[in-house]
Chains A and B, each alone.
Chain A
Amino acid sequence: MRGPLLRKVGAYAFAIVFILAGWWVTAWLVNSPALPTPGATFGVLAANLPALVPYFLTSTGRVVASLALGTVLAVPLAQVCARSRRLDGLFAPVLYILYPIPKVVLLPILLVLLGLGDAPKIVLVTLTVFFQVLVAVRDAVRAVPEGAVLSARALGASRWGIYRSVTVPATLPAVFTSLRIGVGTAIAVLFIAEAMAGSTGLGYFIMQSWSMVNYPRMFAGIVALAVLGLVLYGIFDAAERRLTRWRS
């Protein structure tokens, strides 16, 4: 038990050293206030933290709300569609056409319709998350072994019982996998939305600092956005691991 754990900690320590070294060398070569060295970053962060916090909280709230909303809408639809040939026949072509569209191009329309506040950003990121989760869960439900469904029915499971005991637990890991993979895109889309319109959120904070030529402030915003992505990624990764202990 100790061997693998130590090796894992070692691997992560190495990765961190590797990244910091790469960062340091790049910063040293670039030699610009837009890219401080790792050593200087703490000072930059500390100096800009009070200004940063409200923007950070706004962005966090938007991402979390969108991830939750997208998941809550996508999972039941995917579950029901994948189990019903008729519904799936209806929705599959719709999904096929809409899925590849980069949802971010809808931003201008949403800005016209919903203004400059939270609504257009949350709707846009929710749309992005929704399609990713929908497709992943639909595929996962279809991959559930037919024998498990048959034996549940034979054991007396109702339609609801099949969802609760078979297709939902079997596909829960896929929900978190798709969220983990989708969180990067979600944050990227949020950044674009915040940078383009309104005066709230980290996207705005970063681009405003850029236009003020306050590079340390800009960099502090970038680090904050990176941390947000990393933390969410870690949470989904942990949830996924916990929920897949039954897998080989």
Chain B
Amino acid sequence: MQQKGAQVAFRHTGLVYNRDGQAVRACADVDFTVPAGCSAAVIGPSGCGKSSLLLMAAGLLEPTDGEVLVNGRPLTGPRRETAFIPQDLGLFPWKTVLQNAMAGLRFHGMPKAAAAQRAREALESVGLEGFERAYPKDLSGGMRQRLALARGLAIDADLLLMDEPLSAIDALLREDLQDMLLDFWRRSARTQVLVTHSIEEAVYLGQVIVVFSDRPATVACCLDNPRVGTPDWRDSDGFAAQCRAVREALARAVDR
């Protein structure tokens, strides 16, 4: 297992899309750091540029201004140790559960048998043992979510980037999966960046809550949320108060 999480730093990061000759500013002067081993939740109005930010952190999109540093080095492309879970999970429907979990290791050139072994362990740790030969279509929404996570565990990621991973999941199951994410994060040294539009999810999972303004996305404020992971956090008065604080920060960010 990775001994150390990665540090992610946005340095005056900006992004301009070119859509049919028209410039669309998605992010402007984004500047914040997620320390190694931290769990950060990113929240902001819909369409503000959160997914774009995550794509840059994954090395899939090059910033048009500034840079993104991981462990102090500017990104030049996807890193081996970064796991990225896109909004639609990005599973391969034509591959079995096991092949999906193995995909990253195989792209990295690991021999089949070793990759299968590692993938099996990852599947087991998310409770998908026995489904190795099923296809994603045979899984429930929650199981698909866990498969996407298993992919990241299989490559032994030190940085997990997730784009609204639980948005398609009903409320009760969602809390279970949030507990699972929290548990995985606490048991590892991994750094985690979670984009969400749920205030409760941000407060439940983010040690730091980064609130974004309307498009172009820029950091409106960073809220410390130190009680993440403490027992009964979700049911405490502090949790409700923190949710209120995030809601107000969001309202201010949109008004600006």
Contact = CB atoms under 8 A, between A and B. Distances in A.
Interface of A: 145-148, 150-158, 161, 165-166, 169-170, 172, 245-248
Contacts of A158: 107
The majority secondary structure among interface residues of chain B is loop
Contacts of B83: 154
B93 to A, nearest CB: 5
Contacts of B107: 152, 155-158, 161, 165
A54 to B, nearest CB: 42
Contact of B103 (A145, A147, A152): A152
A154 B58 contact: yes
A186 B89 CA distance: 40
Interface in B68-96: 78, 80, 82-95
10 contacts: A150-B60, A151-B86, A151-B151, A152-B90, A152-B92, A152-B103, A153-B60, A170-B93, A172-B94, A246-B93
B244 interface: no
A144 B133 CA distance: 22
Given A147-B88, A151-B86, 9 more contacts: A147-B89, A148-B90, A150-B90, A152-B92, A154-B84, A154-B86, A155-B151, A157-B107, A246-B94
Interface residues of B, number: 30
A225 B55 CA distance: 55
A147 B106 CA distance: 19
A152 B103 CA distance: 8
Nearest to B82: A154
A247 B95 CA distance: 10
Given A156-B104, A161-B107, A169 B84 contact: no
Nearest to B135: A246
Interface string B91-135: 111110000000110111000000000000000000000000001
Nearest to B163: A147
A156 B152 CA distance: 12
A147 to B, nearest CB: 4
Contacts, number: 78
Given A152-B107, A156-B108, A247 B93 contact: yes
B93 A150 contact: no
B155 A155 contact: yes
Contacts of A146: 86, 88
A233 B59 CA distance: 46
Contact of A145 (B78, B88, B106): B88
A30 B49 CA distance: 72
Nearest to A150: B86
Contacts of B106: 165
B55 A155 contact: no
B87 A147 contact: yes
A39 to B, nearest CB: 47
B153 to A, nearest CB: 13
Given A153-B78, A165-B103, A248 B90 contact: no
Contacts of A153: 60, 78
